Structure 1
């Protein structure tokens, strides 16, 4: 399915913060940097109007094909929360995904950035091309997505593998049938060029940006394309653009396994923990066995909870410690054959509403990942990689590998790999969390090393992403950098004192 992120529901207390729930094997890419031909699109003058909750909304016109700036155009939906005090400029935010709405993310501005940043910057969000309210990609209808997402993505037999291959091929064909014109122009490079047009339209000579998870790849790509136009980039929950796609899936499986074992230390300290074994290794084996049983005996809920849906439901609460009690309750239910909570978590992650409709998150996620870098075309390559990943993470490895299979049949040609260096850019702050389930800390170390001006900030904690997640140490470093451009003089690892 790809590497996706989705804002969690916001709490109501005085220290509200938006957390991201990215999921599933995805793929980051080493990017091909394309040189636009035929000049540059003319900057757009933005016309803003009020749209509730102190927000303002607008649209930005961008070319479908940046090599033909005067050709067919797209409209991107924008929103902003104006600065509350002495304004420096705009802070453009991206929650990741790919495929998650930046409009919704910016509307939660007071829960995603600190008060000093709200005072000095307009907080600007946009739905990237192909996402949400910006010319959304369309592949399957709601019933088709229900079927596709419930499909067995951990095939144990030749027949199961054939069914998965067929469904993945059909998914790619459906995307081509409904969105053929958009598919070749939906990659991160295209969005980075849109981001530069947005910066220009906002009137900022340089970009100030906060990107989380996949948003770190967008920020790093922007810096490679436009290094002189970087003012300050915060790349939180970093992806490693140097990794081959299926290697990325395997490393992510290991990170999820590490995160689950961290959860188990919390769970096993409670007498209410739903595992028979009182050891971490034993409890981890119990989860893998529970998920395997759903392959032939789905859990009961409003819809049958298949192995794929149960795995999604178990992954989702690992993105934030606040989800750990939910995971405990869901696994306690599952031991009785009830998959209600696991299904709720799975539906939240993939953007399925209670009325059975979906956002276009899954379609956009797959389409962007598949165009960003080459995937293997032979399904047997996935089978071999899944076996290796399963040895590393019996609960999550096979699922995270096979979920990328639609890219084996993708109709649009992917970008060609090239490393990201961003030579000549101002300092770029890269953040990693040591037990991040979706973007391992090693990826942040790698990206900070690849970027010539990369500076690493570590957070020794659990959960996905670090900024505005309860660490005064992280927030202080990020806020100072956004406001002044000053980075730490040496690598900092913030302790977890929550």
Structure 2
């Protein structure tokens, strides 16, 4: 199963379009307070405790990057290295884990420092995404080392795998909007089995891959790379990670960009409802662009999904398009307005009885290649989000939520409603919080970029993040556009404002709008 209630990396849209150690410069003064405390096991949540020198004095062995199971080796300008971090940040002298980093050094002479990127998920790989995304960040790469990493529990950084490829494909037959007691039993049995598979495979690591753990890893990386301040570009889920970092280490905040902003005040149910609203809004905008009324177009898609639920459609390679895969295939192109024609073609084919195009879109989203091999991003996604999310709605509570979810979105509401109980059902590790703490009093201004048509992180979350960061910290920039994320999506206004902030420290006026 694919869960959409969390936030997918910006690379998701890119993949679809592709197929159809020194201190800062004098510019640092523009970001405000330069005082940079040492990395520690606590931020504003508790007393600081200096880390052992075995961690802070690491010398990274940067070398050529190798191909991974998920991507080919990047060009020669890219270097990779491994950093040691505590498995348990409460015991920094204890067992360590490896974090895989990638960077391209600044091309110009007027270097500012490192610019760290997190592309979302949770579970998105920085090692595979950074070389592609660098084409969007060419101006930034003149004055910054472009740096990313696979967060703990992801890819090359102690990545998790909870079930095999055959088990993943078999689970695609599970009905994610169960209509009968038998389907409901199968739905929750599959959810519990997934958690047991994670526990059997990963054991201790499952309790140490939270967003807070990764935020602490970020500050260790900052110190080891020699940066007095954290300069950071967070996208989608990466905005939550950036907010948590700012809360823990407000005095270490340099220039932080948060693009496609998550609502930090929403709990697990709130996020599911927000996203049902966001995807339905994007679908409505798509339907209007095709000349259909939103209500009429939605009704046709609901009818199509009901027919597929009753009788899956034949597709390529002797596979079938189930309702679950159809929903995934519909959501996939909504991440980018440029992909809307792909959705038109896929829906037309499905109406004519051919599920191949929607299945191909679903496979792309689910990171399934032509040989039937699946990536592990969804495994990491689930392990991280279920450690973060404390809320565990019961089956009975979820049933009561379903009418509300269906009203918000007739297409996506039922799936996201059931997901509130199914995603972390019978999970072997308890969640940590209802919603993350992101208040960051005393931090330098943080630029938040919100897209009014964003399906995965609805625009309303941008204002909520600005409010929770605190007065004078969160600065809002609005783009009246479509798709997931704003920077590099075709708005010169957005790109210019972001580049001016990162390269010159120029903070735009709060509330600026780009149309």
Match of 2:114 in 1: 90
Q: Pick from 305, 309, 313: which aligns with 1:299?
A: 313
- Return closer, same or farther for 1:474/1:415 CA change in 2, 3 Å cut-off: same
1:202 deviation in Å? 1.1
Match of 1:99 in 2: 123
Equivalent residues in 2 for 1:40-189 (5 A)? 40-41=51-52, 42-43=55-56, 44-51=58-65, 52-53=74-75, 54-85=77-108, 86-113=110-137, 115-189=138-212
Equivalent residues in 2 for 1:222-261 (5 A)? 222-261=245-284
Match of 1:409 in 2: 426
Instruction: Describe the SS at the equivalent of 2:290.
Output: helix
Match of 1:399 in 2: 415
Instruction: Describe the SS at the equivalent of 2:163.
Output: coil
The separation in 2 between residues aligned to 1:4 and 1:300, in whole angstroms, is 30
Instruction: Describe the SS at the equivalent of 2:182.
Output: helix
The separation in 1 between residues aligned to 2:169 and 2:477, in whole angstroms, is 40
Residue 259 of structure 1 contacts residue 437 of structure 1 at CA under 8 Å; is this kept in 2?
Answer: yes
Match of 1:273 in 2: none
Deviation sequence 1:101-139 (CA, Å, 0-9, x none): 1111211143232x3211111110100000011101121
Deviation sequence 1:212-267 (CA, Å, 0-9, x none): 00000010000000000000110000001111211210121011111011111221
Match of 2:32 in 1: none
- TM-score for the superposition, normalised by structure 1: 0.90
Match of 1:219 in 2: 242
Kindly indicate whether residue 508 of structure 2 is the aligned counterpart of residue 485 of structure 1: no
Equivalent residues in 2 for 1:282-361 (5 A)? 282-301=296-315, 302=317, 303-361=319-377
1:12 deviation in Å? 7.3
The separation in 2 between residues aligned to 1:250 and 1:455, in whole angstroms, is 25
1:151 deviation in Å? 1.6
Match of 1:374 in 2: 390
Deviation sequence 1:321-343 (CA, Å, 0-9, x none): 11101000100110111111111
- Return closer, same or farther for 1:4/1:247 CA change in 2, 3 Å cut-off: closer
Instruction: Describe the SS at the equivalent of 2:159.
Output: coil
- Return closer, same or farther for 1:188/1:293 CA change in 2, 3 Å cut-off: same
1:169 deviation in Å? 1.2
Q: Pick from 445, 466, 474: which aligns with 1:427?
A: 445
The separation in 2 between residues aligned to 1:238 and 1:11, in whole angstroms, is 22
Residue 44 of structure 2 contacts residue 249 of structure 2 at CA under 8 Å; is this kept in 1?
Answer: no
The separation in 1 between residues aligned to 2:44 and 2:424, in whole angstroms, is 20
Per mean C-alpha deviation after superposition, the further-off stretch among 173-182 and 466-475 is 173-182
Instruction: Describe the SS at the equivalent of 1:203.
Output: coil
The separation in 1 between residues aligned to 2:298 and 2:16, in whole angstroms, is 30
Q: CA RMSD in A?
A: 1.8
Residue 375 of structure 1 contacts residue 407 of structure 1 at CA under 8 Å; is this kept in 2?
Answer: no
Instruction: Describe the SS at the equivalent of 1:84.
Output: coil
Instruction: Describe the SS at the equivalent of 1:457.
Output: strand
Match of 1:3 in 2: 6
Match of 2:464 in 1: 446
Residue 330 of structure 1 contacts residue 341 of structure 1 at CA under 8 Å; is this kept in 2?
Answer: yes
The separation in 1 between residues aligned to 2:120 and 2:261, in whole angstroms, is 10
| Long gaps (5+) in structure 2 | 20-42, 66-73
Residue 237 of structure 1 contacts residue 465 of structure 1 at CA under 8 Å; is this kept in 2?
Answer: yes
1:11 deviation in Å? 5.7
| Long gaps (5+) in structure 1 | 14-31, 269-277
Instruction: Describe the SS at the equivalent of 2:410.
Output: coil
